[in-house]
């Protein structure tokens, strides 16, 4: 039983919770009451003496740690001094406490790595991403286009956070954590889920046949994506055989897409007004195509330039897509894409090119 009577005053409730917070035998009881702390915009952290299971459980019930100095106000409550001392002396928390809540949830924020703590959930949809991942971009474009409130947590995919595997055994992004704790992943599944569950601006075709045709083209473009990466990763190895084999296959996939859009006689694959699901699902690789042209070996530059000239409809579509508000919200300069891709090909990807400076 909770041994104190909970008073109506929120501040007195905080005092009572903090008074018991560091007694391991009372942690389980405290958990039931920590929901009351949500409205205070504080995050309770425990020192290494507290069992990790309860540490993680408590994190589910409270919000993000504000700057360390803001904790001084807690010292006037019973038990608050001990909480402040625990935070002040814990190295992991000292680093984390220097950031505001938005540090974790911004699109361009720092990528969390193997030693990072898992940020607490909010009441929004949470998407675990990697800022330069085109597959995660698919999901985020849908969220932005449909105006769905969400948080973004970027993850280092070379030194993955230890908790990432608990969310997705494949340890790939995007991973979507829904309010209530359920988790879904895989970019196309996630995109379809968002479009089905949120009615605002339907992205898939209303006509069932057209919807199926669009999905066929997404799958067909998937083969072009595979060829794109085979060429890309053959470049640092100077693997001429692989480049010669898969560059024409990538070109064929892009030309087929160009022909399809030309035959539709529409501004976008989804129609004349706004991009649809097919547009958003192929866009991330078209955004990166200029980088592909920039890093390809010189002896293939004429082939790539010819491909660019042969897909005039896609070129026009690209210019139109760059005016779409969802694309503009997420797009990165070519120089940034190039810097990341070059770091990726070197074997040391620089995930934090766009670190938020907080």
Give me the active site residues, please: 133
Q: What is the largest CA-CA distance in the chain?
A: 78
- Which position has the token pair 């055989």? 241
How far apart, in whole angstroms, are the C-alpha atoms of residue 334 and residue 247? 21
Listed in sequence order, the residues at least 6 apart from 330 whose beta carbon sits closer than 8 Å to its beta carbon are 107, 137, 140, 141, 144
What is the per-residue burial (b if ≥16 Cβ within 10 Å, else e) of 333-356?
A: eeeebbbbbbebbeeebebebbeb
Burial-class residue 323 by CB neighbours within 10 Å (0-12, 13-18, 19+): exposed
Count of beta carbons in the 10 Å neighbourhood of residue 171: 15
What is the per-residue burial (b if ≥16 Cβ within 10 Å, else e) of 279-288?
A: bbbbbbbbbb
What is the strand order of the sheet 150-154 is part of?
150-154, 125-129, 175-177, 183-185
Strands 150-154 and 125-129: parallel
CB 217 within 8 Å of CB 278: yes
């Amino acid at each position: 039983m909770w041994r104190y009577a909970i008073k109506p005053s929120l501040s007195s409730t905080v005092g009572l919770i903090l008074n018991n917070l560091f007694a391991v035998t009372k942690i389980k009881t405290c958990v039931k009451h920590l929901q009351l702390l949500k409205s205070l915009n504080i995050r309770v952290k425990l020192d290494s003496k507290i069992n990790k299971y309860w540490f993680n459980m408590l994190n589910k019930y409270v919000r993000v740690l504000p700057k360390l100095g803001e904790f001084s106000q807690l010292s006037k409550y019973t038990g608050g001094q001990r909480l402040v001392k625990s935070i002040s002396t814990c190295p992991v928390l000292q680093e984390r406490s220097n950031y505001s809540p938005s540090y974790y949830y911004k699109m361009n924020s720092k990528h969390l790595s193997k030693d990072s703590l898992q940020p607490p959930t909010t009441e929004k949809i949470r998407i675990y991403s990697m800022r330069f991942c085109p597959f995660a971009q698919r999901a985020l474009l849908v969220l932005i286009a449909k105006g769905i409130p969400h948080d973004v947590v970027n993850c280092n995919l070379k030194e993955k956070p230890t908790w990432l595997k608990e969310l997705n055994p494949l340890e790939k992004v995007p991973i979507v954590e829904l309010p209530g704790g359920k988790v879904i992943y895989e970019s196309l599944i996630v995109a379809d889920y968002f479009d089905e569950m949120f009615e605002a601006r339907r992205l898939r075709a209303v006509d069932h046949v057209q919807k199926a045709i669009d999905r066929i083209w997404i799958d067909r473009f998937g083969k072009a994506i595979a060829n794109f990466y085979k060429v890309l990763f053959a470049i640092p190895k100077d693997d001429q055989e692989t480049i010669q084999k898969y560059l024409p296959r990538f070109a064929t996939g892009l030309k087929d897409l160009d022909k399809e859009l030309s035959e539709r006689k529409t501004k976008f694959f989804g129609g004349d007004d706004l991009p649809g699901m097919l547009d958003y699902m192929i866009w991330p690789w078209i955004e990166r195509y200029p980088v592909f042209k920039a890093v390809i070996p010189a002896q293939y530059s004429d082939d790539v330039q010819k491909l660019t000239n042969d897909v005039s409809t896609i070129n026009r579509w690209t210019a139109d897509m760059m005016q779409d508000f969802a694309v503009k919200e997420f797009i990165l300069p070519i120089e940034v894409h190039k810097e990341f891709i070059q770091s990726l090909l070197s074997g040391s990807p620089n995930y934090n090119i766009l670190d938020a400076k907080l």
